[in-house]
Each structure stands twice: as structure tokens, then as C-alpha cells.
Amino acid sequence: MVQNKDHDTPLHKAADGGHTGICELLIRSGTDVMVKNKDGKAPLDYQRDPETRRHWKNLDKQVKQERSYHELMQKSGGVKVNRFKVFVGGKEATGKSTLKQSLTKGLLSALIERLSRRPVSQPHDPTPGVDIGTFHVPGVGEVSVWDFAGQAEYAVTHSMFMDAENTVFVVLYNIMDNKKAQEQQVTWWLCFIKSCNPNRQPDVILVASNADQVDAAIGQDRAALVVQTMQTEFRDHLRIADEVILMDCRKTRTPEMDRLKSLLVRIGAALIHHQRDMPKLCAKVMKRLPKWCKSKTSTKCPVMMWSDYVKEVKELDRFVTEDFLKKSSTFLHHLAEILFITPATSDPIIVLKPNWLGTDVFGRVMAPDYFENHLNRTSEDYVTREELQRVFQDVADVDLVITLLREFQLCHTFDKETYIIPGLLTQNMPDEVWQPPAESKMVYFGMQIQCADSTDMLSSGFFPQVQTRLMRELENRPSLWRDGAKCVDRDVEGLIKLSPDGRAVNICVRSLQGDKLKCGEMLQQLENINADVLYECSPGTGTVEKVLSSRALKEHRDQFYSYGKEEIKQAWEEGGTIVHRTLAIEEYICDLLCREDEDPLAINRPELVQVLRHVEPILDQLQAHGTLTAEECDVIRAKETPQDKARKLLDTVGRKGAPASRDFKAVLKQIIPHAAEMVQGHASDLLCSEDEDPLIRNRTKLIRDLTSRYVQERILNHLLQHHHFSEEECGIIRANKTGHSTARELLDIVGRKGQAARQAFKEVLEEVSPDTAKMVE
Ligand SMILES: Nc1nc2c(ncn2[C@@H]2O[C@H](COP(=O)(O)OP(=O)(O)OP(=O)(O)O)[C@@H](O)[C@H]2O)c(=O)[nH]1
């Protein structure tokens, strides 16, 4: 963490130089990814690849949690807690609450129910938010069961609880629904679970409800198909149990229920076996929570303020320091036992029952019926403080509600009287807010963040939170709609639009004055907000960044059209123009990229314009080399002022891609050497870090290609057999929980070996995955 005079840490330097492997090593060793240097930049700001950024953030979080855990254990010692959690998810009315009741029903009531032959159906009473309780499940033991509401509006807050450790996820679907609906619903929940659990492979049991409504054999076949399909789709991310469970959720004493229970026992035992001891103070606090709920808080609002909480904990341990208690509370928050909220402007708040926040607070905010005027709501239709007071009067003090909503980025106020809650917006963005302008000078740029594959999703909370951040961070108030946002900064306008299927977000910027640099600044700011929120609410979601076609944006086509970054890099190398596959239009690469660090001739452009006072000798040389044609040189000469000549020269060279930029740099080296330093004309500067090592240069793609366990095993066995890897190294690699982390470890270890090991790695890749082998050349 040592810093130089510019306040750079070694991690800043490594990240700036694109040394991804060294960065990984430093982060694993505990270097902070967020520490700022003199320019206000954190190491993370130097990493442009979103996948790697997210990986670094996750790693950083993991390392910090690990450190804090060890500190707690060292100071307070640990105890075993033999309890695991069962999360029950699935679309509305699939039988989640019914299953929970049947699971937890005691032997006696199950028998009475059976003997009395009473109708077991209950009317459907939707669960608002998350219903949590600790139950004794006969045949299983003490389990904390979390019943998640199936309605989409509540999903906004589900992600707060979804990454709890020691959890078995039960996902329900109705066997009576058609195959497509079943697959869509189950996929949605599995994507959601994956998106919240980046560092582990959670256990999932799929349960089909309504067995009583279908012929047993047909139902069994359908359910088996769902299990098989989902196992194939999510094999690298989730451990989906092989068992095909099709049941009548209303019944307790059935063979299917017994099978489900024994599965829970088996998975639960494995979780408890690997479960780490809990720091003693945390265990003591956890035990006291029900008592504090009863005696220290009102039943309607199980919230403690920091000073009361400290006082109570001091009764458990009178020597506890506030710092230690904060760390212990963060640990309990991580286990989702409490919510430990630390607002920037006030003391921490402790929510003793997390589901209270999910159900009574967020549940009400998200269910639009509580607020007036909910049809076609836009950001102009704010909620007043009085309205909030009315809606929450029987739950909590309005100031507390507002603090909580703001902490979870669910609302924003500009005047402390009116509140904008993006989750409530219902109106889609009207076409007229983004129309072609009269000015022809207008330039457009854009990028797209897209889900990487079918197992990824932008979770429901993502876009409303992006909108809250826009209101907080932009200088001018943005306009918001359900699926879009528009912002303005002087002559630059920005548009953020969610795709209709919710799987991509398009960000575009335009400038009336053709100001490319200002466009670049706004694009970067908007992209950072999107990337940060995505990390916070879906750290496990894989995304791909693309560049939007500027021409399609300018023509205001009804869809967004994009280019892959590799495609652009290749086109830049080959001459600077690119043809869109679907649109069959050609455009210049330099018209697509506006961020300073992406465009080699945009960096230092103002300085270059000043330095290139006499373009004549440069033009002669460039024409002699065939880089520029005589006509192009004439157009440049025809400009009136030296600055305009320089600008035209830079634009003309910039349009011709990497070869022309390299020639230009070489000519400058002879004529004005210090100007040559300002040109970053290497193609590899563009979009990707300049790294010699293919394992680093292609790391993201390699990781993606090497996530299959089968491929990994083939590689490990080969490297072991040829004595490049030891048993111990293979063990370290195999100990990783997910396919992605195993691939990363594998690449790290191969990367540290010599040429012979790399050659062997390439050989085995040529056998198992020839396309991947090309990337290590
Ligand atoms: N016949 C039959 N009815 C079922 C079965 N499972 C649930 N039901 C009925 O389906 C309706 C909805 O069940 P719930 O358990 O409330 O559904 P849920 O998934 O908790 O719904 P949300 O709380 O809205 O997410 C109730 O009327 C249940 O009695 C089943 O296996 N067979």
C-alpha cells in the first residue's frame, strides 16, 4: 500500500501498465483497489475490461471479508452454529408458501390432516417481499426458511439477501404450465441466484408443484426434462441436484416430501460440515436478536439505533469496542442475520429482522397501489413527504423510512420535500425526447452493456438504482422513464435506454457542437455509473461491452446496432473502416470511439494541434510513403489557419487506422520528435491493454473458454503427466468453487511457469479446444 509522490500504489502502476497478473497477485495480497492517487483515480479506474473490473472488485471484497473474519476469530474465538438456510423461490402462485407450510408441519398435524381428509387447498395469499422464519423441519432439523415473493415488483430487493452463505435454494415451478413458461421462470430464478453469488456454486433443488393435476408418468418426464435442461445450461455456475421432484405441495406425508427432506439433509450436512465457526460475539448477538426484537423495539419496526445497540451488546461483553462491534455486525449482515446499514451522515442503523425491510418497507414502495397516480408515472410524478408519511404511518417514522430508501438507492430528493422513486415509474420513454436535430454538426457515440450469455441477467433492481445514481451524481437533473433516462450537460446530451428484453443497456451521447471530448467524458461517467450499480446488485452477472454504430445513432434507427471490440480492433489494424454486418454500412473507426483513451489521435489533441504548426514537410513525407493521397494533402493545405491544417491532418490520418497512425508517428519522429511522443498510434493501445503475454492479453476470453470442468481436467491431467504441474498445484486449482475461478487459477499457475509448461498447455488445448489454443500463441 506504499504510495509514491503522486500517491500511486504499486497496484496503480500495475493496473496502468496493463499487468493483469501482477494486479491479481497484489489484490489477493490485500492491496486496496479503491485507494485514490493525486488525480483522484483508483487502480480500478485503469482497468477497462468490465469482466476483469468486476473480478477485481469481488476479489477485493472477498479478501477484506476474509481479513475481518480472521481478526474477529483471533480476538473473540469461534463457535459452531449448526444451522443452514433454505431459500424458496419461484414465480407467483407456484406453491412456495404451501410447500413451506407442509415442510414445517409436525407429525401430529400431518396425521390429523390426513385422517380428517379435509380439503388441503388454501386460497392464494401472495407473500409480500420475503417471509423469513426459523423452523424445526421434522426429519431435517432446525432450518431458517426464506420464502421469496414471486411477483416481479418485489424482486427489486430480493438481491439483498441472495448471497447468504450456507444456503440451499429450492426453486419451484408449476408442472401444469407449458414447457416454455416453465423454462423461462426457472431460468429467471437461476440467473438471479447466479447473479448474486459470484464466488460460489450454490446448491439448487428444482421442485415441480401440482403433481396431483397431472398424469404421474407424463409429469415425471416433463420434470426430468426441466432438471436436465437447467443442469446443462447452468453447469458451471450452480450445483443443481439430479433428483426429479414432482409433488403435491399441500401434502406433508408423501414419498416425494420424504425425498425432498432427505435431499435437504444431505446438502445441509455438507454445508454444515464446511461451515466455518462463527465469531463468538456474533453468535451471542444472533442468539439475542429475538429477545431484542420483543423488548427493545416495537413489533412494527424491529430497528435499533447504534447507541442502543452498543448498550445492549455491552451487556453481553462489557469490553467490546465500537470498531470490533462494527466488524462483527458486518459479518452478521453478510450472513443476512441482520441488516447493518451505515449511512454516510448518521450513526449506523441495525435492522434486527431483515424481512421487515424487504416486506413492510420495500414491499410497500414497490407495490404501486400504495401511492396515488400510479398510471404512467414519470420522474415528474414525485411522491411527497406527506404521502410517504401516510403510507408508512403504521410501520416506522418517515425519516427512518426515507434514510433506508436512500441507503438502498431506491429514492432521491432534490428538495427534501418531494421524492422520486424510480422503481415506481411506469411510463416508457416517449420517442419525442430523442429526435434528430436540425444541426448537421451533431456527432453521436455510444456503447452497449449486454448480458454475456443466457445464464446472465440484469436484475430487476438494476435500472431503478442506475436512475437514482444519475439523480445523485449528475450536475443537471435527468428525466426518467421506466425504461430510459435522458441527461444534459451544456451542449452534450446523454441517453440511457434499457433494451426491450431487459438484457442490455444502451448508452449514447451526442453533441450539438461536435465536441468529441465532452461526449467522451459523459459516456465514461454514464458507463461508470452503470458498471458500479451492476456490480453492487448483480456481482455475478457476466457482461460484454460493445460499441454502438454512430451512423445508426445519427440516422435515429429504431434499434441499436453495435460492433464487438475485437471486430473494431481488427478493422483498425486493417485500415480504419468497418462494415456493419446487418446494416451493410461502412463507417470510420474514429467516428465510433470518443473516449480519450480509446482514440490514439485524440489523446493530447490540443497539444498536437499547437505543435504541428508547419504541416508541409509532414504532408510531403506522408504522401511519399503513400499514407496520404495528393488530393488529401491538397484538402489539408487548403485550410486557412495552421491550427485548422493540423486538425484536418489529424482527422485524415485518424480515419486510416493503425498503419497510417504508425507511419504518421514515424514521420513525426524524424521531423518533430517531441510531437511523436504525443501520438499513441499502436493498434494495441486501442481498447485493449498493451501486453506481450497472450495469457494476459486474452485472459478474459481464455477464462470464458476454460470454465468447463471436463476441459480443465484434461488440461490438469496432461500437465501433471508431463511433470509441469505438481499434485499440490492441481489440488489448489481444483479447490476453486466455480468454473471461472478454477480457470483463473489455472491460467495464473501456467503463467508463472516457463516456456515448456506453456508449450504443453498449448498442446493439450489443441486437442480439447483448438480455437482456444490459438489464443495462447
Ligand atoms: N392442487 C395443488 N394446489 C397447490 C399446490 N401447491 C400450491 N397450491 C395452491 O396454489 C395456490 C398458490 O400457492 P402459494 O403457496 O400461496 O403460492 P406462492 O408461490 O407462495 O405465491 P406468492 O406468495 O404469490 O409468490 C394456493 O391456493 C395453494 O393451495 C399443489 O401442489 N397442488
What CATH number is attached to the domain comprising 20? 1.25.40.20
Residue with the larger pLDDT of the pair 517 and 652: 652
The 3 state secondary structure assigned to 738-770 is CHHHHHHHHHHHHHHCCHHHHHHHHHHHHHHCH
Q: CA 431, 432, 433: angle at the middle one, nearest 5?
A: 95
Distance, CA of 287 to CA of 289 (rounded, Å)? 6
Considering the domain architecture, whether residues 115 and 209 belong to the same structural domain is answered as yes
Atom of ligand 1 at shortest distance to CA of 213? 1
356 within domain boundaries: yes
Do 388 and 470 lie in one domain? The reply is no
Nearest CA to ligand 1 atom 14: 95
Rounded CA-CA distance 268/205 in Å is 12
Clarify whether residues 240 and 186 are in a common domain. Answer: yes
pLDDT of residue 374: 61
Do 618 and 544 sit in the same domain of this protein? no
Which atom of ligand 1 has the smallest separation from the CA of 209? 31
- pLDDT tens per residue across span 546-604: 999 999 999 999 899 999 988 888 888 888 889 999 999 999 988 888 776 666 666 67
Residue range 511-523: average pLDDT?
A: 88
Is 489's C-beta closer than 6 angstroms to any atom of ligand 1? no
Contact 125, 376 (CB under 8 A): no
709 within some domain: yes
The CATH number of the domain where 185 resides is what?
3.40.50.300
CB 739 less than 6 A from any atom of ligand 1: no
Whether the CB of 198 sits within 6 Å of ligand 1: no
The answer to whether position 292 is within a domain reads yes
Given the DSSP bridges, would you call strands 239-240 and 383-384 parallel, antiparallel or unpaired?
A: unpaired
Pocket lining: 91 vs ligand 1, CB cutoff 6 Å: no
Closest residue by CA, ligand 1 atom 7: 95
Tell which one of 103, 104, 124 to mutate to probe ligand 1, the residue whose CB is within 8 A of the most ligand atoms.
124
pLDDT at 460 over 70: yes
Domain boundary among 29, 59, 78: 78
Q: How many angstroms from the chain centroid is the CA of residue 27? A: 19
Across residues 108-126, what is the average pLDDT? Answer: 61
CA 119 to centroid of ligand 1, rounded, Å: 14
Q: Is the CB of 150 under 6 A from ligand 1?
A: yes
Residues 190 and 330 in one domain: no
* Per-residue pLDDT at 194 exceeds 70: yes
How confident is the model at residue 202, as a pLDDT?
A: 93
Whether the Cβ atoms of residue 422 and residue 481 lie closer than 8 Å to each other: no
- Which cell numbers hold the place of 302? 424491529
59: part of which helix (H) or strand (E)?
Answer: helix 50-76
Say how many Å lie between the CA of residue 128 and the centre of ligand 1.
Answer: 14
Q: Tell whether ligand 1 has an atom less than 6 A from the beta carbon of residue 124.
A: yes
Q: What is the mean pLDDT of residues 487-505?
A: 94
Please indicate whether residue 123, judged by its CB atom, sits closer than 6 Å to ligand 1.
yes
Same domain, residue pair 45 and 62? yes
Alpha-carbon gap, residue 366 to 274, rounded angstroms: 37
Q: What is the pLDDT of residue 126?
A: 64
CA of 373 to the centre of ligand 1 (A): 31
Tell me, yes or no, whether 74 and 88 share the same domain.
no
| Residue 574 within any structural domain of the chain | no
Which atom of ligand 1 is closest in space to residue 94's alpha carbon? 19
pLDDT greater than 60 at residue 55? yes
- Region 85-98: mean pLDDT is 90
Is any ligand 1 atom within 6 A of the Cβ of residue 152?
no
233 assigned to some structural domain: yes
User: Hey, whose CA ends up nearest to atom 16 of ligand 1?
Assistant: 124
pLDDT at 686: 44
Summary mean pLDDT of the chain: 86
DSSP 290: H
Q: Which atom of ligand 1 is nearest to the CA of 148?
A: 25
The CB density around residue 158, as the number of other CB atoms within 10 Å, is 24
Compute the distance from residue 254 Cα to the ligand 1 centre, in Å.
17
174 lines ligand 1 (CB under 6 A): no
From 186, 667, 542, 9, select the one nearest 649 (Cα to Cα): 667
State if residue 214 touches ligand 1 by the CB under 6 angstroms criterion.
no
Tell me what percent of the residues of the chain surpass a pLDDT of 90. Answer: 40
The SS3 assignment for 159 reads coil
Residue nearest to ligand 1 atom 30, measured at CA: 210
Q: Which atom of ligand 1 is nearest to the CA of 98?
A: 15
Q: Using CB atoms within 10 A of its CB, is residue 688 exposed (0-12), middle (13-18) or buried (19+)?
A: middle
Q: Could you tell me the CA-to-CA distances from 559 to 445, 519, 555 in Å, in that order? A: 15, 21, 11
| Owning domain of residue 21 | 10-78
Task: Say yes or no: 420 and 435 in one domain.
Answer: no
Residue type, 86: V
> What mean pLDDT comes out for the span 331-336?
85
- Could you give the CA distance from residue 764 to residue 777 in angstroms, rounded to a whole number? 13
Grade residue 52 by pLDDT with cuts at 50, 70 and 90: confident
Contact 496, 489 (CB under 8 A): no
Percentage of the residues of the chain whose pLDDT score is greater than 70? 92
Residue 557 maps to which CATH number?
3.30.310.200
Last residue within a domain, chosen from 274, 292, 327:
274
Q: What is the pLDDT of residue 117?
A: 56
**Ramachandran class of 190: left when φ > 0, alpha when ψ lies in -120 to 50, beta otherwise:** alpha
Of ligand 1's atoms, which has the minimum distance to the CA of residue 90?
19
Distance 96 CA to ligand 1 centre (A): 6
Residue ID of nearest Cα to ligand 1 atom 15 = 95
Ligand 1 near 119 CB (within 6 A): no
Which of 98, 127, 145 for mutating ligand 1's site (highest number of atoms within 8 Å of CB)? 98
Residues 187-203 have a mean pLDDT of 89
Q: Which of 88, 91, 121, 145 to mutate to test the pocket of ligand 1 (most atoms within 8 A of CB)?
A: 121
239 C-alpha vs ligand 1 centroid, how far in Å? 26
**What's the gap in Å between 229 CA and the centre of ligand 1?**
24
Split at pLDDT 50, 70, 90, the class of 259 is very high
The pLDDT tens digits for 757-776 are 888 999 999 998 888 888 88
467, 416 Cβ separation under 8 angstroms: no
Within this chain, do residues 329 and 420 fall inside the same structural domain, yes or no?
Answer: yes
Dist CA 24 CA 11 (whole Å): 9
| 456 Cα to the center of ligand 1, angstroms | 28
- pLDDT band for position 395 (50/70/90)? confident
Could you say which of 226, 244, 274 is where a domain stops? 274
Would you say residue 44 has pLDDT above 70? Answer: yes
Mutate to test the pocket of ligand 1, among 87, 97, 132, 158 (most ligand atoms within 8 A of CB): 97
Cα angle 557, 602, 22 (rounded to 5 degrees) comes to 100
Could you tell me if 472 and 556 lie in one domain?
yes
Tell me the pTM. 0.79
Q: How far apart are the first and last CA of the chain?
A: 35
By most ligand atoms within 8 Å of CB, the mutation choice from 100, 250, 252 for ligand 1 is 250
Model pLDDT, residue 440: 73
For residue 244, pLDDT over 70 is answered with yes
Query: H-type helices in 452-515, by residue range?
Result: 462-473
Cβ atoms 147, 104 nearer than 8 A: no
Q: Among candidates 340, 322, 332, which has minimal Cα distance to 286?
A: 332
User: Is the beta carbon of 251 within 6 A of some atom in ligand 1?
Assistant: no
* Cβ pair 364, 398 in contact under 8 A: no
CB 538 within 8 A of CB 545: no
CA atoms of 216 and 51, how far apart (whole Å) = 45
Overall number of domains in the chain: 6
For ligand 1, whether the C-beta of 212 sits within 6 Å is yes
Say if 592 falls within a structural domain: no
Q: Is 252 in the pocket of ligand 1 (CB under 6 A)?
A: no
At 662-698, the pLDDT tens digits run 888 889 888 888 888 777 544 334 444 445 578 877 7
| Å from CA of 354 to ligand 1 middle | 24
Whole-angstrom CA distances from 319 to 277, 284, 315, 375, 505 are 22, 14, 9, 55, 50
Residue nearest to atom 26 of ligand 1 (CA): 124
Instruction: Give the C-alpha separation, 207 to 170, whole Å.
Output: 7
73 and 142 housed in the same domain: no
Contacts of 15 (CB under 8 A, 6+ apart): 23, 43, 44, 46, 47
Whether 209 lines ligand 1, by a CB cut-off of 6 Å, is: yes
Check pocket membership of 101 for ligand 1, CB cut-off 6 A: no
Name the DSSP letter for residue 73.
H
- Residue 728 sits in a domain whose CATH number is 1.10.533.10
ipTM over 0.90: yes
Q: Check if 423 has its Cβ closer than 6 Å to any atom of ligand 1.
A: no
Region 134-162 average pLDDT: 76
CA distance 605 to 653: 13
Are 464 and 521 contained in the same domain? Answer: yes
Residue 584 lies in a domain: no
pLDDT value at residue 181: 94
Residue 406: what residue type?
R
Average pLDDT over residues 101-123: 68
**Ligand 1 atom 6: residue of nearest CA:** 95
CB count within 10 Å of CB 186 equals: 27
Atom from ligand 1 closest to the CA of residue 251: 31
* Residue-level pLDDT at 690: 42
Q: Which of 315, 288, 293, 318 is nearest to 304 (CA)?
A: 293
Residue 504 lies in a domain: yes
Distance from the CA of 126 to the center of ligand 1, in angstroms? 9
Q: Which atom of ligand 1 is nearest to the CA of 248?
A: 31
Measured between alpha carbons, how far is 360 from 301 in angstroms, rounded to an integer?
Answer: 9
